[in-house]
Structure formats: C-alpha cells, structure tokens
Structure 1
Amino acid sequence: MKKGENTRKHIISKAAELFNQKGYAGSSMSDITELTGIKKGGIYRHFASKDEIALEAYNYAGSIVGGHIQEAIRQQETAFGKLLSYLRVYVNVVEEPPFIGGCPLLNAAVECDDGHPILRQRAQQGLEGTLGNIKAIIMQGIESGEFKADIDVDALATFTLSIMEGSVMMSKLEGDNRHVRMNIENFSAYLRAVCVQN
C-alpha cells in the first residue's frame, strides 16, 4: 500500500473515532490534526473538506460495526439467533463497544437530524441497508418455517432495530449495560411468544 493511501486511511480511522465520540459539530479540523499528527495542509491534500472526511469516517465506522454484526450472525443457524445478534454485539457497549463511541448510525442520526443534510442522507442509506438485512433474516425465518407466515416483516424489522438502538442509547447514557441485557431477554421472549412457530 502506498504512503498516501496509508495516510488517508489513518485520517479516516482517527476522524471516525473522533466524530463518533464528540460528534461532527463538536469536532474541529484542529482536533483532527491533533489526533492524527498531520498538519491541515497534509489533510487537505487528501480531502477537500471536513464534510468529505465526515462521510468517509461514517462509512469506515459503519463497516467496522457491520463486520462485527455479520460475524455474530454467521455464528447463528436460526433466524431467531441472527436477529438477537444485533443486540448481542452491543452487550458490553459501555466497556467494549464494537466501535469507539457506540453506534455510528445512532450517533449520526441524532446529530445530523437537521444540521447536516449530506451526513443525514448517508445515515438514511445506512438505516435502509440495516433494515433490509434484518428483513432478509425475517424472510428466511418465514421461508424455513421457523417464523409464522403472517408476521409483518417491516414492523418486526423496525422493532428489532429500535430495540437495539434504544438499548445502546440508554446503556451508554446511564453507563450500565443492563438495558441491552434486559432487552436481549425481553426480545427473546417476544420472538418466542409472537414470531416462532409452535
């Protein structure tokens, strides 16, 4: 890998950590230069603007978390287990999040609701992709006979992601993983009672 590519990747990875912890608006170019050890001129040789860095950083953070989720899913044989993987990846979100600062999708969605349309659009794409992956798992569960045929796939996908993001937010805010852990148990009970074929 060329030195320029290494430098660009270094900037992206450090900026991703910074933005995911301090937010886009709360992070300055000076913060990026301090964290990376690269002067502004060096950063601008690789990126046209802070916006460009933010988009690349979001993509990077999302790919790290997505990799953890996909690995957890691969270890499960049932649709039930695969859905729970979305929460289990965050079971120790306070001490050991899958990416520093928590969920990039949640953080970007909260911060850029109205103030950063480009990052908001990228977060919307992340939301659509995540919901699409969850729906595919649910459909597999229906097709295999594991889940009931009359399940509202869209509603269950939204519920799954909402439980995950709400659990992450509450556990991070309180500094206690109990919300994620409680919701793993509660969501398991819900799936058994409402979705799984008897």
Structure 2
Amino acid sequence: MIKTTKGEQSKIRLIECAAELFLQKGYNATGINDILAGTGLPKGSFYFHFASKKDLAINVSAYYESKIGGWILNTSKGKTWVEFVTDLIGQMIQGAENKKHYGCPFAVLGLEIAFSEPDISESYYKSMKKLIDIFASVLKISDIPEDKIDVLSNRAFAIYEGYLLYYRIGKDVEVLKMMLRDLIDIYENFKEVKA
C-alpha cells in the first residue's frame, strides 16, 4: 500500500469533497467555504494545493475520470454489450434506490460550465470521449462491424447521457430501467438489421 503524506491526504479530501458537492449542488452553487466546511481544513490548506476554484474543478474532473471511468471500464471487462449495460445500469439502479446516484458528473457539470468555464468544460468533454471509447470497445467484442462501431457507440452514449439527465431531474428509478431497455434495444435492433 502506498503511503500518502498529510498534505496529499488533505488534497485528496478537498478533491473528494468538492466532487461530491459539485455533483449535488453544482459548481456555481458550491463555494470554497462549503468545501472547507466539508473537510474541516483551513483556508490556507486549500490555497496551498489549488490556485483557484477553477484549478480545483480541473482536478475534480480527473478524479471523476478515474473513479467513474475506472468503474465503467472495470464493469466492461470481458463482457458483451448486453451483459455490460445490464451490469452497469443495474448498479446505477441499486445506487438510485439507495438515494446515492446523482447522474453523470461529466454531463451535469459540463452543461453548467460549458460556456462560462471553457477550460473546465474541455476536461469534462475529454472524459466523456473516453467513456465513448469504452462503449466502442465493448461493441467491438460484441460482433458489431468495425465501420459501424463509431456511430453505434456515440448513439448509445447519447441515450445513456440523455437518460441520466432525465433521471437527475425527476429522480425516478424507472428512467434508469428505460435506459437499460433502450441500450439493449439499439444493439439488438442493429444486430437484427445486419442478420
């Protein structure tokens, strides 16, 4: 196990707290004082690690990419499309039923800051593209022709993000179940057309 210094632990706490608050309250509604209150750290600790809230937000994007991207990548390992989306969305449904699922942070925060904070928005966009790449890799091992993978992975990702935003607004678990059906349907419909 890698040991971290007190300073590294403080930085991690600030990032994790900001990640949670940004997703729950939004970037603009979360102040530095909210983050400090959530961590119990002094203001000097924040400015020791981050030049600004914007700098922190870019670090939060990397955190989300590691956490969410890692989770989705691990869920995809060795699975076909139907197995993958069933497992992934099943985990989301379980989180939603326990009131611990808030939607996709890349879309939620990316929408909020798309025009006001283009530097931060760019890092969220890059993370979203990596998720599309994961979708593409699963479709590839699910017998989708190489020349159709890009179109289908982008379409699937648009459905995925659309439903996650829909869920976030309504907090209705049934929306996640509809997402699962539609993600399976677009794959199966494509396979039927090609058969």
Superposition TM-score tier, normalisation by shorter sequence: 0.7 to 0.9
CA contact (8 A) 2:80 2:141 kept: no
Distance 1:139 1:77, change over 3 A: closer
Shift of 1:93: 5.1
Check the 8 A contact 2:73/2:134 in 1, yes or no.
Answer: no
Shift in Å at residue 84 of structure 1?
4.8
Alpha-carbon spacing, 1:132–1:62, altered in 2? closer, same or farther (3 Å): same
**Inter-partner Cα distance in structure 2 for 1:56 and 1:63:** 11
Does the 8 A contact of 1:62 with 1:104 survive in 2? no
Is there any run of 5+ residues in structure 1 with no aligned partner, and where? Answer: none
The answer to which structure has the higher helix fraction is 2
State the match for 1:175 in structure 2: 171
Report the TM-score when normalising by structure 1: 0.84
1:18-38 Cα deviation digits (max 9, x unpaired)? 111111111111111111111
Give distance in 1, aligned partners of 2:146 and 2:75: 27
**Cα distance in 2 for residues equivalent to 1:95 and 1:59:** 27
Give 2:80's aligned residue: 78
CA contact (8 A) 2:81 2:187 kept: no
Q: More deviation in 60-69 or 108-117? A: 60-69
Do the aligned partners of 1:87 and 1:164 also contact (CA within 8 Å) in 2? no
Contact 1:93 1:168 in 2 (8 A): no
Alignment coverage as a number of residue pairs: 191
> Which TM-score applies when normalising by structure 2?
0.85
Q: Partner residue of 1:187?
A: 183
Asked whether 1:27 is paired with 2:30, we answer yes
Q: What's 2:92 paired with?
A: 90
Q: 1:76-119 CA distances to partner (integer Å, 9 max, x unpaired)?
A: 5324423555544422453447x763311111221112010111
Any idea what SS the aligned residue of 1:152 has? helix
Identity %: 24
Report if the CA contact (8 A) 1:24-1:111 is conserved.
yes
- Name 2:134's counterpart in structure 1: 133
- Tell me, what secondary structure is at the counterpart of 1:155? helix
User: What letter is aligned with 2:156?
Assistant: T
Aligned-CA RMSD value: 2.3
Unaligned runs of 5+ in 2: none
Matched letter for residue 182 of structure 2: N
The SS at the match of 2:108 is: helix
User: What whole-Å deviation, never above 9, does each CA across 1:131-161 have from its counterpart, x for those lacking one?
Assistant: 22222222333xxxx33x3762222111111
Tell me the alpha carbon deviations over residues 171-195 of structure 1, each in whole angstroms, 9 at most, x when there is no partner.
Answer: 2211211111022123323322222
